């Protein structure tokens, strides 16, 4: 199996969770774009994406398309259903209609607070890919799982199920987010994250095929900040980060996006 990083454009993804309303998100995206432009950020070299709340997406779309900003964006969740009597849900087609490139699926907060099962995650992944969205499939073990099964067993099993409706060649992103590292200030070590990312790449090769595995970007998430991003980005199987808290600070998020300037320091 190829694990070379060739062709995988790193992705720095900001998950805003339930923060920033549509007016705040417009101001944020505009300032972020200026900040990165001033720093001569090459968006073709490192992609920068934001994941605002649903109610912000139309405003972000309008700004990004009017000002031709090179920032991509997506939703934080999606319905497994195409349409119908599902009060409160948002379809993949609705997100696609707002030019979303991505959608986060199976974030640990959805799995824990909304009891999302691996099967529901798989159905959402199928719906997203079917509508032309790129799912950012989140997997990760809790502190109890870590103690009982080690770091890879649970994320590997979660990913196997999440990929069950896909065919080889599917355009996906995988995010390894240890639950104990999310919002805790206690990130995994780059070596721990690499070990799991490598196991996840093997799952993609087995479930889909080797080509898809070699092309798929695998992100690390959980207490990523400017001070620790470089260590993760030096790992051969880590192709970016899913950033929560630190993505709400423009200077910090820009600095994470510009990790190339501090890799090797
Ligand atoms: P954090 O969140 O960066 O605040 O740990 C990560 C996430 O939930 O995606």
Query: Which residues have C-beta within 8 Å of that of residue 157, sequence separation ≥ 6?
Result: 118
Which atom of ligand 1 is closest in space to residue 222's alpha carbon?
5
Whole-number Å distance, alpha carbon 186 to ligand 1 midpoint, is: 11
The band of 173, judged by pLDDT with boundaries at 50, 70 and 90, is very high
Query: Which residues have C-beta within 8 Å of that of residue 70, sequence separation ≥ 6?
Result: 33, 43, 48
Whole-number Å distance, alpha carbon 224 to ligand 1 midpoint, is: 7
8 Å CB contact between 148 and 191? no
Q: Which residue's CA lies nearest to atom 9 of ligand 1?
A: 244
Q: Determine if ligand 1 sits within 6 Å of the CB of residue 223.
A: yes
Q: How far is CA 51 from the centre of its chain?
A: 9
Secondary structure of 80-139 as H, E, C letters = CCCCCCCCCCCCHHHHHHCCCCEEEECCHHHHHHCCCCHHHHHHHHHHHHHCCCEEEEEE
Instruction: Inform me whether the pLDDT recorded for 2 exceeds 60.
Output: no
The pLDDT score that the predictor gives to residue 174 is: 99
Mean pLDDT, rounded, for 219-239: 98
- The number of beta carbons lying within 10 Å of the beta carbon of residue 80 is 21
Secondary structure of 32-72 as H, E, C letters = HHHHHHHCCCCCCCCEEEEECCHHHHHHHHHHHHHCCCCCE
Q: CA angle 58-137-218, nearest 5°?
A: 110
The candidate with the shortest Cα–Cα distance to 77, out of 87, 64, 92, 62, is 92
How confident is the model over 81-133, as pLDDT tens digits?
999 999 999 999 999 999 999 999 999 999 999 999 999 999 999 999 999 99
CA–CA separation, 223 vs 182, rounded Å?
A: 6
- Strand pairing of 11-15 and 240-243? parallel
Instruction: Inform me whether the pLDDT recorded for 3 exceeds 50.
Output: no
Q: Determine if ligand 1 sits within 6 Å of the CB of residue 183.
A: yes
Which atom of ligand 1 is closest in space to residue 181's alpha carbon?
5
Whole-number Å distance, alpha carbon 168 to ligand 1 midpoint, is: 29
């Amino acid at each position: 199996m190829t694990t070379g990083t060739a062709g995988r454009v790193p992705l720095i993804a900001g998950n805003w969770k339930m923060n920033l309303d549509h007016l705040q998100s417009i101001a944020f995206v505009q300032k972020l774009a200026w900040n990165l432009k001033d720093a001569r950020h090459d968006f073709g070299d490192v992609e920068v994406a934001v994941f605002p709340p649903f109610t912000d997406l139309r405003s972000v779309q309008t700004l990004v398309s009017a000002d031709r900003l090179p920032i991509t964006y997506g939703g934080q969740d999606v319905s497994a259903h195409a349409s119908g009597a599902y009060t409160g849900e948002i379809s993949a087609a609705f997100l696609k209609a707002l030019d979303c490139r991505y959608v986060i699926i199976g974030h640990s907060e959805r799995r824990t607070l909304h009891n999302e099962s691996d099967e529901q995650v798989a159905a959402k992944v199928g719906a997203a890919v079917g509508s032309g969205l790129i799912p950012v499939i989140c997997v990760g073990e809790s502190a109890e799982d870590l103690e009982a099964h080690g770091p890879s067993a649970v994320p590997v099993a979660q990913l196997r199920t999440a990929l069950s409706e896909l065919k080889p060649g599917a355009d996906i992103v995988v995010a390894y987010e240890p639950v104990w590292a999310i919002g805790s200030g206690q990130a995994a070590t780059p070596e721990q994250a690499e070990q799991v990312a490598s196991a996840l790449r093997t799952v993609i090769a087995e479930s889909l095929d080797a080509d898809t595995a070699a092309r798929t970007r695998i992100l690390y998430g959980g207490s990523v900040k400017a001070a620790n991003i470089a260590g993760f980005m030096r790992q051969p199987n880590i192709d970016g980060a899913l950033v929560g808290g630190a993505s709400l600070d423009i200077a910090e998020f820009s600095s994470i996006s510009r990790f190339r300037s501090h890799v090797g320091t």
